[in-house]
Amino acid sequence: MMYDNNAAANVKAGIDKINFYTPNHYLNLVDLAKVRGVDPNKYLIGIGQSKMSVAALDQDIVAMAANAAEPMLSAEDRQQIGLLIVATESGIDQSKAAALFMQDLLKLTGNLRAIEIKEACYGATAGIQLACDYVRSHPGRKALVIASDIARYGLDTPGEVTQGAGAVAMLITSNPAILAIEPESIYESRSTGDFWRPNYSTVAFARGKFSEEIYVSMFEEVWGKAQRQGMANPETLQALLFHIPFSKMGRKGLRTLGNGKIAEADYTRLTERFERSIVYGKEVGNIYTGSIYLALLSLLENDESLKVGDRIGLYSYGSGSVAELYFGTLQPGYRQRLDAQAHRDLLDHRERLSMPEYEAMFSAQLVTDGSEQDLGRSDHSEAATHYLTGIKDHERQYR
């Protein structure tokens, strides 16, 4: 059959299912502030975060990704997935895609393309856009996009308070139940040195203040273009989501629309909805490429006033840097697809780490000398059905 460009443009594509997983250990940031000799309000208000999830060695990005996707996939979904993308900047292998581990762990068919995407925190958005194009041209098939990351800056560094760990899984389909994504969007790439992680380092390097400047400047750029092209009318925009490395960062992006740049009523509405979008992220921390999708889930599960047909904007930013502003419309089935109680339980049932426990967990490393390693299991919760058991013959072993 010939591919029909016009027909593809008419197929509604977007997010049909969404779920997230975060490991079951967290650090309270007041505890961190006390030990680092910092006023806790700097973290709670200045950075805008209250807790951060900490991943033990057995919850690497593959295990977390599988745990995010497992509960939401039906037998039919598993048959119909033809594109499988894992977006991560915490990759576990230089060659084999994390998506291939997923194909095995999630019991998907072999009749699919499995790849890994990297562009810092923008990776999952690239994956979603590719996935939407895929289902527009193959409406009978589905795509699974999973964002999974562990944000690591190092002990006693300025970035330490902006760490976190978790994964967000999204099923992309035609006629989606949650969010139909518009085919046209505004994007921009600029090669910058704001944040990077060389192959030899287990922690990221960041020019923190510079990274904040680039984030904001690229937002202004894509927002301005979207306005000029008639895509970003604030009156009809019910919410605007941001990549949230920490909640203050998104707030700084949103504030560029304040001071009369858009009508006060619109700014107030977007600010109220922004507050709902950061509820989960404030307790999880930065999960890099999944952060904006955690914000989407947080908004949908913590805002009672949104309704079917509401238009939402998403500002995705990945250091290095790529930014994209795109839009979607809430679909009739969206409320039935959510499980706010399960996600609240996941966050509330985590174990609080003491500072020495956090530092030990952060410093633990997998062997790098080719020897074998057996790991204990850190998360016995129902949500953690997948975990890394160790390393054998240079390969990670999962169960």
Instruction: Supply the residues annotated as catalytic.
Output: 89, 121, 243
Q: Is 288 in the site for ligand CAA (CB under 6 A)?
A: yes
Minimum CB distance to ligand CAA, residue 217 (Å):
11
Contacting residues for 74 by C-beta, under 8 A, at least 6 apart: none
Q: Are 239 and 270 in contact (CB under 8 A)?
A: yes
Q: Smaller CB distance to ligand CAA: residue 246 or 387?
A: 246
Q: Which residue is nearest to ligand CAA (CB)?
A: 46
Identify residue 38 by its one-letter amino acid code. V
Check: CB of residue 19 under 8 Å from CB of residue 169.
yes
Query: Where in 164-263 does DSSP place strands (E)?
Result: 164-174, 179-181, 186-189, 195-196, 205-206, 237-242
With beta carbons less than 8 A apart as the criterion, state whether 114 and 103 touch.
yes
Cβ at position 206, least distance to ligand CAA in Å: 4
In DSSP terms, 237 is beta-bridged to: 311
Choices 181-189, 210-218, 305-313, 323-331; region in contact with ligand CAA by CB under 6 A:
210-218
29-36 vs 355-363: helix axis angle to the nearest 10?
Answer: 90
* Separation of alpha carbons 287 and 346, rounded Å: 16
- Binding of residue 212 to ligand CAA (CB under 6 A): yes
Should residue 121 be labelled a site residue for ligand CAA when binding is judged by CB under 6 A?
yes
| The binder of ligand CAA chosen from 19, 80, 211, 247 (CB under 6 A) | 211
242 is an interface residue for ligand CAA by CB under 6 A: no
Stretch that binds ligand CAA, among 49-57, 73-81, 159-167, 338-346 (CB under 6 A): 159-167
Interaction of residue 333 with ligand CAA, rule CB under 6 A = no
Number of residues in contact with ligand CAA under rule CB under 6 A: 27
Q: Binding of ligand CAA at residue 263 (CB under 6 A)?
A: no
CB 88, min distance to ligand CAA, A: 13
How far apart are the C-alpha atoms of 322 and 375, rounded to whole Å? 37
DSSP summary character for residue 309: T
Q: Which of residues 22-51 bind ligand CAA (CB under 6 A)?
A: 39, 41-42, 45-47
Eight-class DSSP state of 45: I
208 binds ligand CAA (CB under 6 A): yes
What is the closest distance, in whole angstroms, from the C-beta atom of residue 50 to ligand CAA in the complex? Answer: 13
376 in contact with ligand CAA (CB under 6 A): no
Residue pair 160/154 in contact by the 8 Å Cβ criterion: yes
243 contributes a contact to ligand CAA by CB under 6 A: yes
In angstroms, the CA 172 to CA 151 distance is 25
- Binding-site member from 67, 174, 286, 302 for ligand CAA (CB under 6 A): 286
* Options 103, 162, 247, 277; binder of ligand CAA; rule CB under 6 A: 162
b/e per residue 133-169 (b: at least 16 CB within 10 A): bbbbbbbebbbbbbbbbbbbbbeebebbbbbbbbbbb
Of 299, 238, 229, the C-alpha closest to 265 is: 238
User: Applying CB under 6 A, which residues contact ligand CAA?
Assistant: 39, 41-42, 45-47, 121, 158-159, 161-162, 194-195, 206, 208-209, 211-212, 215, 243, 245, 248-249, 286, 288, 317, 319
